Amino acid sequence: MTVRAVVFDWGGTLTPWHDIDLYAQWYAYAVEYDPVNASALAHRLLANENARWSQQRDTAGACSAGALDQLFLDEGIDVNAARHLGALSAYLDFWAPHTQADPDAAPTLAALRGRGCRVGVLSNTMWPRAHHEEVFARDDLDELIDAAVYTSEIPVAKPHASAFTLVLDQLGVTASETVFVGDRLWDDIDGAQRVGMRAVWVPHSAIPTDQVPAGLDEVTPDAVAHRLLDVVTIVDGWR
Ligand SMILES: [Mg+2]
């Protein structure tokens, strides 16, 4: 058996899971953008975001949630205006403590690359590529990633097969020689296995129950990584 590539989910996988108050993220934006009407604006942004994530879930990723900018455009916000950019900066400051890489992430990716494996990222996200790249550069992961697919840039999302094949194509590998690592049994593990990848589950995320479809008891990961460095041992066993 050959393992030529390992593809990682981002949130809850390369970063430890954090419970996030999703209203608070939007209040951080709104109180900068429009202090007088901050609460109402935050509620509308949250409702729009939730509707987009719900549509993505309900279509099994056939429709991605789209790009963050769309939430602002739907509010009539000029995404080039200084007022918006200042508020966006407050939003990103809110997220900063929650996007720190797992301390195992860099040594894990480096060990895999040292074995000749290519490393990919496939994230269901509304964030633009630039936000993700800033976070990876901050945590010294940017040089360790060969290809990254962000669903904010494409019309589909995990668990849709096309999301997985896009990152395989970018890495120049086939599904059967690729391992996927993720924290969600449906989006990540079942989705990767359905395209023919082996899937490793990181089992520590407290995923909200309304984001978990029924039938997950039928999903069995090929391996479980209790910490990220376990992925190296698991891959060694498959090589
Ligand atoms: Mg995740």
Q: How far is the CA of 201 from the centre of ligand 1 (A)?
A: 10
Q: How far is the CA of 76 from the centre of ligand 1 (A)?
A: 30
Domain end point (choices 97, 112, 132): 97
- Residue 56 tokens read as 């993505």
- Please check whether residues 106 and 224 belong to one and the same domain: yes
Give the contacts of 170 (CB within 8 A, at least 6 positions apart).
120, 146, 147, 149
* pLDDT bucket at 55, cuts 50 / 70 / 90: very high
- Please check whether residues 41 and 122 belong to one and the same domain: no
- Please check whether residues 162 and 73 belong to one and the same domain: no
Q: How far is the CA of 164 from the centre of ligand 1 (A)?
A: 14
Q: How far is the CA of 185 from the centre of ligand 1 (A)?
A: 10
* Domain of residue 143, CATH code: 3.40.50.1000
Backbone angles phi, psi at 202, to 5 degrees: -100, 110
Query: Which residue range forms the structural domain that includes residue 171?
Result: 5-16+100-238
- Please check whether residues 56 and 131 belong to one and the same domain: no
Residue 217: predicted pLDDT: 72
Q: Which residue, among 79, 113, 86, has the nearest Cα to 232 in the 3D structure? A: 113
- Please check whether residues 115 and 11 belong to one and the same domain: yes
**Counted domains in the chain:** 2
- Please check whether residues 132 and 151 belong to one and the same domain: yes
Q: Quick check: 15 and 203 in contact, CB under 8 A?
A: no
Q: How far is the CA of 101 from the centre of ligand 1 (A)?
A: 13
Domain end point (choices 71, 97, 123): 97
Q: How far is the CA of 226 from the centre of ligand 1 (A)?
A: 15
- Please check whether residues 93 and 31 belong to one and the same domain: yes
Pairing of strands 198-201, 118-123: unpaired
Q: Is the pLDDT assigned to residue 176 strictly greater than 80?
A: yes
In tens, the pLDDT along 203-231 reads: 999 888 878 777 777 899 999 999 999 99
- Please check whether residues 59 and 139 belong to one and the same domain: no
In tens, the pLDDT along 128-142 reads: 999 999 999 999 999
* Average pLDDT taken over every residue of the chain: 96
Q: Quick check: 201 and 185 in contact, CB under 8 A?
A: yes
Nearest-5° Cα angle at 217, 215 to 221: 115
**Residue 30 C-beta-side C-alpha neighbours within 13 Å:** 19
Q: How far is the CA of 81 from the centre of ligand 1 (A)?
A: 32
Domain end point (choices 97, 127, 161): 97
Q: In what order do the strands lie in the sheet with 178-182?
A: 147-150, 118-123, 5-8, 178-182, 198-201, 223-224
* pLDDT bucket at 181, cuts 50 / 70 / 90: very high
- Please check whether residues 206 and 110 belong to one and the same domain: yes
Q: How far is the CA of 23 from the centre of ligand 1 (A)?
A: 20
- Please check whether residues 112 and 183 belong to one and the same domain: yes
d(CA 113, CA 116): 5
- Please check whether residues 67 and 121 belong to one and the same domain: no
Q: How far is the CA of 230 from the centre of ligand 1 (A)?
A: 17
